[in-house]
Amino acid sequence: MLPKDPMMLLSYVNTQLRDHYPSLQEFCAAEAAEEQSIREKLSLIDYEYDAELNKFV
Protein backbone atom coordinates (compact mmCIF):
# COMPACT_ATOMS: atom_id res chain seq x y z
CA MET A 1 0.00 0.00 0.00
CA LEU A 2 1.36 3.38 -1.02
CA PRO A 3 1.55 6.27 1.45
CA LYS A 4 -1.40 8.66 1.25
CA ASP A 5 0.49 11.77 2.34
CA PRO A 6 2.02 13.41 -0.77
CA MET A 7 5.40 14.09 0.89
CA MET A 8 5.69 10.52 2.14
CA LEU A 9 4.59 9.25 -1.27
CA LEU A 10 7.28 11.37 -2.94
CA SER A 11 9.98 9.95 -0.70
CA TYR A 12 8.79 6.38 -1.12
CA VAL A 13 8.38 6.50 -4.90
CA ASN A 14 11.69 8.25 -5.54
CA THR A 15 13.52 5.77 -3.30
CA GLN A 16 11.93 2.83 -5.08
CA LEU A 17 12.75 4.29 -8.48
CA ARG A 18 16.34 4.92 -7.46
CA ASP A 19 16.90 1.50 -5.90
CA HIS A 20 14.71 -0.93 -7.82
CA TYR A 21 12.96 0.30 -10.97
CA PRO A 22 14.23 1.78 -14.25
CA SER A 23 10.94 3.62 -14.91
CA LEU A 24 7.74 4.83 -13.30
CA GLN A 25 5.78 2.42 -15.49
CA GLU A 26 7.70 -0.58 -14.13
CA PHE A 27 7.25 0.64 -10.56
CA CYS A 28 3.49 0.99 -11.08
CA ALA A 29 3.21 -2.47 -12.64
CA ALA A 30 5.11 -4.09 -9.78
CA GLU A 31 3.18 -2.20 -7.09
CA ALA A 32 -0.21 -2.50 -8.83
CA ALA A 33 -0.46 1.28 -8.61
CA GLU A 34 -2.12 3.71 -10.99
CA GLU A 35 0.47 5.95 -12.60
CA GLN A 36 -1.98 8.80 -13.19
CA SER A 37 -3.02 8.77 -9.53
CA ILE A 38 0.61 9.06 -8.39
CA ARG A 39 1.28 11.85 -10.88
CA GLU A 40 -1.82 13.75 -9.72
CA LYS A 41 -1.01 13.43 -6.02
CA LEU A 42 2.55 14.59 -6.51
CA SER A 43 1.53 17.45 -8.77
CA LEU A 44 -0.40 18.81 -5.76
CA ILE A 45 2.98 19.52 -4.15
CA ASP A 46 4.49 20.73 -7.45
CA TYR A 47 6.42 17.60 -8.41
CA GLU A 48 6.46 16.07 -11.87
CA TYR A 49 8.05 12.86 -13.12
CA ASP A 50 11.26 13.33 -15.12
CA ALA A 51 11.79 10.18 -17.21
CA GLU A 52 15.39 11.09 -18.01
CA LEU A 53 16.26 11.33 -14.30
CA ASN A 54 13.77 8.60 -13.35
CA LYS A 55 12.45 10.55 -10.39
CA PHE A 56 9.94 13.18 -9.39
CA VAL A 57 11.46 16.65 -9.34
- The amino acid sitting at 34 is E
What pLDDT is recorded for position 53? 98
Q: How far apart are CA 55 and CA 22, in angstroms?
A: 10
The tens digit of pLDDT for each residue in 15-46 reads: 999 999 999 999 999 999 999 999 999 999 99
What pLDDT is recorded for position 7? 98
DSSP assignment letter at 49:
E
Q: Is the pTM of this model over 0.85?
A: yes
What pLDDT is recorded for position 36? 98
Contact in structure between 18 and 8 (CB atoms under 8 Å) = no
What pLDDT is recorded for position 30? 98
Mean predicted confidence (pLDDT) in 1-8: 96
